[in-house]
Amino acid sequence: MLRTGKQLITLFVLLCLSACEKSPAEFNHSSLHFGSTIDITLYDVSPELAEQAFAKLDEDFAYLHAAWSPREAGSLRRTNALIETGKTFTAGPSILPLIKKSQQLSRQSEQLFNPSIGKLINLWQFHKHDRPGIKPPEHSAIQTLLNENPQLDDLHIDGIKMRSNNTSVSLNFGSFAKGYAMNLEMQQLKNMGIHNATINSGGNLKTTGSHGAHPWVITIKHPRLKTWLARIETHKEESVFTSGDYERFYLYKGKRYHHIIDPRTGYPAAGTQSVSVLHTDSALADAAATALFIAGPAHWQSIAKKLNLTSVMLIDSSGAIHLTPDMRDRLVFNPQIEATINITAPL
């Protein structure tokens, strides 16, 4: 069929427009901070902006990890050393916001979230969980630290000055720092003009915006099987944080000892396999997952209410799944294992 010159020009323009239209670009980046891999995904950004964002977040995460690590020569290690003196000192600006936010969450959780038990955490040596010869500490050593009863409210802050009534306080923000950092860095991305992104730290995710026409999807690991248990489609900016007994543990004389310590007993918390919390605030979700894990199947509901949480999933030691109604409405369970899942009535 012959085409007129006008038809050929129109066809050429349409072909050019089609060729010039490109799908929004997606960029991915991984780095190691806070003891785990941090994966960042950016959507609908230019290559230049993605490169700038990855460099900035790498720099920030490295700084925050060094500042908040109890083992590196940074601000937190300095703070712990000064607490032991019993004297008033000037607290570092990177540490004060963590302490103030943690004090609030500690009170709301009936002290189940207690970052002041750093000496007890060190006693268990879970930072060496993959080394041979690790064994639980002596009961007498645990009891000695329990009797000292460190609490975040032992710390008194006046402006930038701080002192502690209890020199046994040793701060360890392992159940809070990643969530707090992810809040800061997601805001950093938004300040750079990036509005569609995910930050994944060891399976704990924070998202903002969407993946084009589709929401970001967060999957939750099954605590006992090598597969995913459930997934959640996020709404704009949300986080899912999970605390599980499978993350860091060691076996001694056939018994599993995991890293989530109950500050009331000094031993790994019993009765729970994992807890997942969905919330807009990553720091809250991080701390709450630990507190609810320790509260266990009998008491997690009351702690969740005190923390104003509406979306929680707890899996108890028998494998039964406990859910809030809001969480039940959001979860899609893995169809390959759904028949084996034991879900209690939503609370």
pLDDT at site 9? 45
Query: By residue range, what is the domain housing residue 160?
Result: 71-164
Strands 331-333 and 228-233: antiparallel
Each residue's pLDDT tens digit, 118-167: 999 999 999 888 888 899 999 999 999 999 999 999 999 999 999 999 99
Q: H/E element holding 145?
A: helix 139-148
Is residue 294 a part of any domain in this protein? no
The mean pLDDT value of the chain amounts to 93
CATH at residue 154: 1.10.3980.10
Domains held by the chain: number: 1
pLDDT at site 1? 46
At 257 the three-state DSSP class reads strand
* Whole-number Å distance between alpha carbons of 193 and 202: 26
311, pLDDT greater than 50: yes
pLDDT at site 10? 46
46, pLDDT greater than 90: yes
CB 332 within 8 A of CB 230: yes
pLDDT at site 48? 98
Name beta bridge partners: 233: 217
Is residue 86 a part of any domain in this protein? yes
295, pLDDT greater than 50: yes
Q: 153 vs 161, 165, 196, 269, CA distance in Å?
A: 15, 9, 38, 22
Is residue 57 a part of any domain in this protein? no
pLDDT at site 231? 97
* Whole-number Å distance between alpha carbons of 6 and 9: 5
CB 76 within 8 A of CB 171: yes
Is residue 117 a part of any domain in this protein? yes
pLDDT at site 130? 82
Is residue 252 a part of any domain in this protein? no
Q: Which two tokens stand for residue 323?
A: 């859910």
* Whole-number Å distance between alpha carbons of 99 and 332: 36
Q: How confident is the model at residue 4 (pLDDT cuts 50, 70, 90)?
A: low
Is residue 316 a part of any domain in this protein? no
pLDDT at site 22? 63
Is residue 347 a part of any domain in this protein? no
Q: Which two tokens stand for residue 89?
A: 């000192």
Is residue 123 a part of any domain in this protein? yes
Residues 6+ apart with CB under 8 A from 14: none
Residue 43: other Cβ atoms inside 10 A: 19
Each residue's pLDDT tens digit, 184-234: 999 999 999 999 999 999 999 999 999 999 999 999 999 999 999 999 999
Q: Which two tokens stand for residue 162?
A: 């701080």
* Whole-number Å distance between alpha carbons of 128 and 83: 25
Q: How confident is the model at residue 344 (pLDDT cuts 50, 70, 90)?
A: confident
In this prediction, what percent of the chain has a pLDDT beyond 90? Answer: 88
104, pLDDT greater than 50: yes
pLDDT at site 24? 84
83, pLDDT greater than 90: yes
Helix pair 47-68, 177-191: axis angle to 10 deg:
150
Strand blocks (E) in the chain: 26-33, 36-43, 89-90, 155-158, 161-164, 197-201, 204-208, 217-221, 228-233, 238-244, 249-252, 255-258, 272-279, 312-316, 321-323, 331-333
12, pLDDT greater than 50: no
The reported pTM is: 0.92
